Amino acid sequence: MTPPRQLGLFDPALDVPPPDPALVALAARVPPHVRFGTSSWTFEGWRGIVYRRKYRNQQAFVQESLAEYARHPLFRTVGIDRSYYAPVPADELRRYAEQLPPGFVCVSKVWSEITTRVFPDHPRHGERAGRPNDAFLDPDLFMREVAGPVLEGLGAHAGPLVLEIPQTTGGVAPAVFAREVDAFLRAVPAGLPLAFELRDRRLLVPEYLDTIARHGATHVFNYWSRMPSIREQLQIDGTMAGPVVVVRLMLPPGERYADLRERYAPFDRIAAPQPEMRDDVARVVDLCARRGQDVFVIVNNKAEGSSPLTIEALARRVAR
């Protein structure tokens, strides 16, 4: 098979001007173990911030903009979020890989069918609403529909696979949850870059952390409305275990996703700076430097209003 064409930071074929020299200089000062990226990338409001190329239409923007995104000086990763709602076929992931430069690594969310323990009591789930999910942490389904296509399609661009465990967990005891995670990790091949993101603070207990550490998986430090702050998570023994560290900046405390989406659109400005969040990310970056770990920092627009501009602020905060 012919390998995908690999492009540099500036490629004339993309028909975009060279990157801003100030951002290039800033990127050179970001420690090499830090990978900044956004949670998804197809936002029209980022024109002039990330995107300067003229696209033929909206469909072309959605299909081709990853190539321009990946050449932004500060971006060395991206979050593939659509895979949470349905598996992405290997051939589509291969088209992503063909747009990426060498060394660019993606963070992919795992299909919610595998990470949801109990279906939320919502009409969209039909007869399954409020019922346990028989496919929760099903290793065969995970390998067939998620890990296999990701490894085949993204190849060298495949990075951490994030298993987001929703808050609707049916009141499961933390020790039971830890055993379920252990059974899953025993059944999948060793060495997969797996990262668990909890949305239920009750589950963040030693049994869970010991389990993922024993299997070489990673705990995701998430900035999310109902979880402890990243600073509080850092104070818990075992949260830094794992070959890499993943940070996901999603939603300020007490806020709702839908409310901020409406308030912050089109995501072209910092609407509500979060200085404590930025300080916490700097702490993680510093700890990773001491421990020799790479850190992936994925930023959502709802964290402050515009994830590319949040990344600029974080880059200045951690620059050498």
Residue 35 belongs to a domain with what CATH number? 3.20.20.410
Q: Is residue 5 part of a domain?
A: no
Tokens at 101, concatenated: 């430069």
Look at residue 61 in the predicted model and tell me its pLDDT: 96
Strands (E), the chain: 34-38, 77-80, 105-109, 158-165, 194-198, 218-223, 244-249, 294-299
- pLDDT in single tens digits along all 320 residues of the chain: 333 333 444 454 567 778 999 999 999 999 999 999 999 999 999 999 999 999 999 999 999 999 999 999 999 999 999 999 999 999 999 999 999 999 999 999 999 999 999 988 778 778 887 888 999 999 999 999 999 999 999 999 999 999 999 986 568 999 999 999 999 999 999 999 999 999 999 999 999 999 999 999 999 999 999 999 999 999 999 999 999 999 999 999 999 999 999 999 999 999 999 999 999 999 999 999 999 999 999 999 999 999 999 999 999 999 98
Q: Is residue 7 part of a domain?
A: no
Look at residue 3 in the predicted model and tell me its pLDDT: 37
Q: How far is CA 136 from the centre of its chain?
A: 20
CB 291 within 8 A of CB 28: no
Q: Is residue 116 part of a domain?
A: yes
Number of neighbouring beta carbons within 10 Å of residue 54:
10
Q: How far is CA 214 from the centre of its chain?
A: 23
Look at residue 13 in the predicted model and tell me its pLDDT: 58
Burial of 59 (0-12, 13-18, 19+ CB in 10 A): exposed
Query: Structural domain tally of the chain?
Result: 1
Look at residue 208 in the predicted model and tell me its pLDDT: 98
> Residue 50: which domain range?
12-318
* Residues, the chain: 320
Tokens at 265, concatenated: 């659109």
Q: Is residue 4 part of a domain?
A: no
Q: What pTM was estimated for this model as a whole?
A: 0.94
Question: Torsion angle of alpha carbons 266, 40, 306, 101, nearest 10°?
Answer: -120
Phi first, then psi, for residue 78 (nearest 5°) are -150, 150
Q: Residue 187 in 3-state DSSP?
A: helix
Number of neighbouring beta carbons within 10 Å of residue 82:
14
Give the Cα separation of 307 and 264 in Å (integer).
11
Q: How far is CA 236 from the centre of its chain?
A: 22
Q: Is residue 6 part of a domain?
A: no
> What amino acid is encoded at 43 in this protein?
F
Q: Is residue 3 part of a domain?
A: no
Q: Is residue 54 part of a domain?
A: yes
Tokens at 28, concatenated: 């050179």
Look at residue 212 in the predicted model and tell me its pLDDT: 98
Look at residue 5 in the predicted model and tell me its pLDDT: 35
Q: Is residue 2 part of a domain?
A: no
Look at residue 4 in the predicted model and tell me its pLDDT: 36
Look at residue 2 in the predicted model and tell me its pLDDT: 30
